[in-house]
Amino acid sequence: MTTPRRDTYTPESLLSVAVQVFNQRGYDGTSMEHLSRAAGISKSSIYHHVSGKEELLKRAVSRALDALFAILEEPAAREGQAVRRLEHVVRRMVEVLIAELPYVTLLLRVRGNTATERWALERRRDFDHRVAELLKAAAADGDVRPDVEVRLATRLVFGMINSIVEWYRPEARGASGREVADAVVQLVFSGLRRA
Decide if residue 195 touches its own copies (CB under 8 A): yes
Give me the 77-116 binding string for DNA, x by CB under 7 A, dash otherwise.
----------------------------------------
Decide if residue 173 touches DNA (CB under 7 A): no
Decide if residue 2 touches its own copies (CB under 8 A): no
Decide if residue 7 touches its own copies (CB under 8 A): no
Considering the complex, what minimum distance in angstroms separates the CB of residue 8 from DNA?
Answer: 4
The whole-angstrom separation of Cα 192 and Cα 195 is 9
- Per partner kind, with CB cut-offs from 5 to 8 A, the member of its own copies, DNA, none near residue 98 is none
Question: Which is closer to its own copies, CB of 25 or CB of 84?
Answer: 25
The whole-angstrom separation of Cα 89 and Cα 131 is 8
- Per partner kind, with CB cut-offs from 5 to 8 A, the member of its own copies, DNA, none near residue 183 is its own copies
Considering the complex, what minimum distance in angstroms separates the CB of residue 50 from DNA?
Answer: 9
- Per partner kind, with CB cut-offs from 5 to 8 A, the member of DNA, its own copies, none near residue 174 is its own copies
Stated length of the chain: 195
Task: Please say whether the beta carbons of 87 and 45 come within 8 A.
Answer: no
Query: Which residues, 6+ apart, have CB-to-CB distance to 93 below 8 Å?
Result: 68, 71, 131, 161
Decide if residue 123 touches DNA (CB under 7 A): no
Q: Is 92 helix (H, G, I), strand (E, B) or coil?
A: helix
Decide if residue 160 touches DNA (CB under 7 A): no
User: Distances from the Cα of 41 to the Cαs of 29, 45, 53, 140, in angstroms?
Assistant: 19, 6, 15, 56
Question: Which is closer to DNA, CB of 55 or CB of 133?
Answer: 55
SS in 3 state form for 95-133? HHHHHCHHHHHHHCCCCCCCHHHHHHHHHHHHHHHHHHH
Decide if residue 26 touches its own copies (CB under 8 A): yes
Decide if residue 103 touches its own copies (CB under 8 A): no
